[in-house]
Amino acid sequence: MKHLFLIRHGKSSWSDPALEDWERPLNNRGKRQMEIMAAPLAQQGAFNGQIYSSNAMRARKTLEGMIATLGDDGLPARTHFKSKLYTFDSDVLRKWLTKRQEDSITLVGHNPALLELANSLLRKPIDELPTGSCIHLMLPIQQWDEVEDGTAALGGLLLPRWIDYTLFQKKQPPDPGKKEAKHPLQALSLSLPHIMERLQKLEPGAKLGYDIEFLHQYRVAIRRARAVLETVYQITGDNNLKKPVKRFKRNAQATSQLRDLDVFLDTLAEWNEDSEFRDALRSSGALEAFGKERETAQKAFAEHVMSRQYMDDMDDLREFIHAGELNTVLQQLDKHRIREALDARIADHNARLVALSDLSSDDDFHRLRKNLKRTRYLADLDPALPSDFRKDLKKRQKLLGEFQDRHVQQDFMLKYQAGADPEGTLSPLIQRLDSQKQAARQHILTLDPIDTPEPVARAVSKKQDQPETS
């Protein structure tokens, strides 16, 4: 078996027209690509063998930058810059490749040569190889001169926009429901197709797990879609909406364990910087144990996203949203019904809030948090709502989220302590979590009910003022 890693150089600069193509350097985006791709490529084995690169400035700086980022003193000795590899012709690369002897080769070069070479060798071609990206090919051969078209298997594909959420987001279009809609129902009909497209684009980054923001944004999108469809179902009672809601719910739940561990590991990393807790964390082995648990959860989520059930769910949801079934349901609604649904959610939230007391269970607070999230998702559909109202919802959601995080993290630690910390070295940390949870709990108890936004309140009052008809 032979391994071939094809890495396209980072994004290059065109700012100096006097430079020859060979001399063009990386621009800021290219430098960022180089930095964030180094570690993932090393984990995928891209630097285990001999490394060859075009001697063009942009290719050289890409490879040198990744080596510097990794800090591996052994890499320069296996790095070679070749003028022959400064080519845009895949036939040149293929002829050069047939003369190699190594089992694993990494080649940093240029398109269209790299993509054309990859697609000639792969059983199933790929659509793109953007700047800074890498494709790993596995070839069932003993010698490189045995290579034949259509015989390579895809070992992996890494794109910078799957590794770094900031790079990903720069290229994403805004939600048309927030920019173009005149009323909530129109926002809904515009936003849901956008959410489905966004979910599909977020999947690779969430599946790989190098940047936890991908999973967070994926969760926001899938839960937002579920919340608005649940509302439409509650308003209309249309049974065609039951299956889509269940599909969204099932796939949202598949993210929960991984998200909780991501947040907890951030908390543990902060504690590890605190001399008061560092020794307890290290002696108990908690950091390593939860890190491994997170790896297991990431793998489980990736398997979920690649499962047949998941792919069928997403195909069915896209078909439902794009095929006109949803618009048919929406056209039967009065445009004010979403606002009335928001008003009802606010009333439910306020009733739950005032019912809370020192004796309430954590589950009561959890249910309040879920209600508030659905309230906020509905509010996002109406651009006419006051900004102060939105800010208040966001502030409340953050507070309730902090309470829930501490509840989950305390549960994590108690379970770990029961099995791996009989001496109780983690007890001070558990006590800190409990104190933080209780502080958030008391803060929630002091919250005032949500003020109903003016347009909704006015609509309700008018409805109440109408005389009864016999």
150 and 182 in a single domain? The answer is: no
What does the alpha-carbon distance between residue 256 and residue 243 come to, in Å, rounded to a whole number?
Answer: 21
Give pLDDT, residue 468. 43
pLDDT of 463 strictly over 60: no
How does DSSP assign 110-170, residue by residue?
Answer: -TTHHHHHHHHHBSS--S---TT-EEEEEE--SSGGG--TT-BEEEEEE-HHHH-HHHHHH
Q: How far is CA 63 from the centre of its chain?
A: 27
Shared domain for 375 and 418, answered yes or no, is: yes
List, edge to edge, every strand of the sheet that includes 50-54: 79-82, 50-54, 104-109, 2-8, 134-139, 153-158
Q: Provide, rounded to the nearest whole percent, the portion of the chain with pLDDT above 70.
A: 97
Residue pair 403/441 in contact by the 8 Å Cβ criterion:
yes
Whether residue 187 sits in one domain with residue 159:
no
End residue of a domain, out of 163, 197, 228: 163
Work out whether strand 134-139 and strand 104-109 pair parallel, antiparallel, or are unpaired: unpaired
The pLDDT of residue 466 is above 80:
no
Distance of CA 123 to the CA centre of its chain: 29
Our count of domains for the chain comes to 2
402 within a domain of the structure (yes/no):
yes
pLDDT tens per residue, range 266-324: 999 999 999 989 999 999 999 999 999 999 999 999 999 999 999 999 999 999 988 77
Q: Tell me the average pLDDT across 321-334.
A: 80
Helix (H, G, I), strand (E, B) or coil at 79: strand
**Do residue 371 and residue 241 come from a single domain?**
yes
Rounded distance, CA 47 to CA 106, Å? Answer: 7
**pLDDT at residue 457 in the model:** 47
Q: Which of 310, 134, 318 is nearest to 206 (CA)?
A: 310
Give the integer Cα–Cα distance in Å for 42 and 78.
14
Domain boundary among the residues 163, 196, 218 is at 163
**Amino acid letter, residue 269:** A
| pLDDT number for residue 200 | 96
CB count within 10 Å of CB 28 equals 10
Q: Using the predicted structure, report yes or no on whether residue 432 has a pLDDT greater than 60.
A: yes
Strand residue runs (E) in 59-109: 79-82, 104-109
Nearest to 157 by CA among 192, 132, 121, 184: 132
With CA atoms as reference, report the closest residue to 108 among 30, 67, 55. 55
* C-alpha span between 445 and 341 (Å, rounded): 25
* Whole-model pTM over 0.85: yes
For the record, the structure tokens of 432 come out as 């800190």
> What was the pLDDT predicted at 455?
57
**Domain termination residue (choose one: 163, 193, 215):** 163
Non-local (6+) Cβ contacts of 351 within 8 A are none
- 228 and 322 belong to one structural domain: yes
In this structure, is residue 132 part of a structural domain? yes
Q: Across all residues in the chain, what is the average pLDDT?
A: 92
- 467 pLDDT more than 70: no
Q: Are residues 181 and 157 in the same domain?
A: no
Q: Do 441 and 345 belong together in one domain?
A: yes
Residues 127 and 200 placed together within one structural domain of the fold: no
CATH code of the domain containing 376: 1.40.20.10
pLDDT of residue 331: 79
460 domain residue, yes or no: no
pLDDT at 179: 79
Same domain membership, residue 205 and residue 156:
no
Residue pLDDT, tens place only, 174-228: 999 887 877 788 888 888 999 999 999 999 999 999 999 999 999 999 999 999 8
How far is the C-alpha of 57 from the C-alpha of 43, rounded, in Å?
25
Q: What is the pLDDT of residues 49-80, one digit of tens each?
A: 999 999 999 999 999 999 999 999 999 999 99
Would 214 be classed as within a structural domain?
A: yes
Say whether both 224 and 365 belong to one domain.
yes
User: In CATH, what number is assigned to the domain containing residue 44?
Assistant: 3.40.50.1240
- Predicted local confidence at residue 132, as pLDDT: 97
Is 468 contained in some domain? no
Report if residue 457 sits inside a domain: no
- Over 70: is that where the pLDDT of 469 sits? no
117 plus 199 within the same structural domain:
no
- Residues whose CB is less than 8 angstroms from the CB of residue 321 and which lie 6 or more positions away in sequence, other chains included: 192, 193, 196, 244
- Same domain, residue pair 260 and 126: no
Distance between CA atoms of 150 and 386, rounded to whole angstroms?
58
450 is a domain residue: no
Angle at which helix 212-236 crosses helix 242-253, to 10 degrees, equals 160
Identify the domain containing residue 93 by its residue range: 2-14+21-163
Does position 459 have pLDDT exceeding 70, yes or no? no
The pLDDT of residue 235: 87
Please tell me the predicted confidence (pLDDT) of residue 254. 96
Q: Are 303 and 309 in contact (CB under 8 A)?
A: no
In this predicted structure, the answer to whether residue 413 has a pLDDT above a threshold of 80 is yes
Question: Crossing angle for the helix pair 212-236 and 184-208, nearest 10 degrees?
Answer: 150
Per-residue confidence (pLDDT) for residue 470, from 0 to 100: 37
Classify residue 142 as left (phi > 0), alpha (psi -120 to 50) or beta.
Answer: alpha
Amino acid at residue number 309: Q
Among 86-90, 137-141, 198-202, 341-345, name the one with the lowest average pLDDT.
Answer: 341-345
Assigned domain for 455 exists: no
Contact status, residue 165 vs residue 217, Cβ threshold 8 Å: yes
Output b/e per residue, 370-383; b: 16+ Cβ within 10 A: ebbbbbbbbbbbbb
Residue 106 DSSP label? E
pLDDT digits (tens, 9 = 90+) for 83-135: 999 999 999 999 999 999 999 999 999 999 999 999 999 999 999 999 999 99
